[in-house]
Amino acid sequence: MRVAFVDLLFSWPPHGGADVDLYHVMAGLRSEGIEAQLFFAHQTASDEAGIADPESLPFPATRIDFSPHSFAPDSVTERFREALDAWRPDMVWVMHAFGMKPWLLDGLADFTVVSRYYAHELMCARDPRRFKHGAPCPNDYLRTPDVCRDCALESQRDAIRQGTYKTWTEEYIAARAYAPEYHALSLGALRKTRALVVSNTQLAAELAPLHDDIRVLPGGVDTGAFPHAAHEANPGRARILMSGRVDDPLKGLGTLLEAGAALWQQRQDFEIVLTHHDHDLENDWVRCTGWLTHEEALAEYAKADVCVVPSVWHEPFGLVAVEAMAAGRAVVASRTGGLADIVLDGKTGLLVTPGDAAALAGALSRLLDDPGERARMGKAGRARAESDYDWRQVVRKRYLPLLEELGG
């Protein structure tokens, strides 16, 4: 089977989780004997997207260059169409792209097309996060287009006026995503798509009225890379680790610090370790590791007693929760998005309401009190990571059956 992956934003070394996901899926499918090829766009004036050397990738890749003037719906669709016609795939997966995606889906509709969404780009016009005023936004571009068009205009005002925008705004302008007809194009393109793929069941449920074939495909980790050891409680204070992009307000550091302050009033037997560079955050119970190499970050998991993922947005996947499980650590996470799929409440960790500092403090306190429960959860988490989230398993158990089903 020949499967083409089309991506407008792919970069390697990666610029984000979507790049890492695509890289592992491509490499995994190739190792399973699937003929997979990547077709990705490179904007010659951009330093942000499409920065990859096809020769350095472990799978065949074709880079299609666009100047700022040629990065327009017609030429983008036409250039990809030409490349795909020459390669003749059985199926086309349109992966990471923003405003230009509906044009691509529409223009490639006579292939069997699967559309992959990594975050909320289908439902939000202002950015892929769908997060506003400190909370997940209840609006949805497909259902409330004019409200979302106004919001997108307002939020991108300064970037457009100053001409200093990034890829989201670049595609917003190039694809004319602000125009009223773009809404009908988006809905029409969805109808022509064979299946939609998202990263969590919450998002799948939300999109269910719009499409009758929505699949949930998680990301993964290389579980072999994690220095897994059975959990042994730290002899001194217990370590609660929050890792990843801690400085991103969506990740819920504020909630964790509030929970930590409340907990410190009751007990002084813990410290919270943040993979954050701002040492001003440090106090009696907070320590920042500063910037870490990948290996150092992995080592932090091994030194942790509990890992915490207090995200306040609808986290599309939640890679750090999987990493913590792969390292054999109990996870306390927000009950939202992909985290609610990854963490089995009471088995591999505990789930709490996003933004609820008291609930978070309660969950952490429970695990601090019971090293035995932490160890049991860590062990169950490691087993779950190995069976469900190791890249090899994700490709074999999730991607291959889906390709067979859709391709057949």
Partner 1 sequence: MNTKPRIAAMYSRGTHYPRLLRFLRNEYPGCELTAVVPPAYPERLLEGQCDRILRTEREQYGLRDLRAILTLLSTLRAERFDALVVMFNSVKLRLLASGAGAASAYVFTADRRFFPVTLSLLGEAWDYLARNLRGRITYAYIAWVVKHQRVGK
Interface residue list for partner 1 (CB under 8 A): 11, 13, 15, 47, 51-53, 145-146, 149-150, 153, 157, 160-164, 173, 178-180, 183, 277-279, 290-291, 293
State yes or no: cis peptide before 13, omega within 30 of 0.
yes
C-beta closer to partner 1: residue 11 or 202: 11
C-beta closer to partner 1: residue 52 or 123: 52
C-beta closer to partner 1: residue 147 or 400: 147
C-beta closer to partner 1: residue 56 or 266: 56
C-beta closer to partner 1: residue 182 or 389: 182
Least distance in angstroms from the C-beta of 323 to partner 1? 19
C-beta closer to partner 1: residue 141 or 391: 141
Least distance in angstroms from the C-beta of 179 to partner 1? 6
What count of other Cβ atoms lies within 10 Å of the Cβ of residue 369? 13
- Show Cβ contacts of residue 282 under 8 Å, excluding neighbours closer than 6 positions: 288
Least distance in angstroms from the C-beta of 345 to partner 1? 35
Least distance in angstroms from the C-beta of 294 to partner 1? 11
Least distance in angstroms from the C-beta of 173 to partner 1? 7
C-beta closer to partner 1: residue 191 or 397: 191
C-beta closer to partner 1: residue 164 or 266: 164
Least distance in angstroms from the C-beta of 215 to partner 1? 28
Least distance in angstroms from the C-beta of 378 to partner 1? 29
Least distance in angstroms from the C-beta of 211 to partner 1? 20
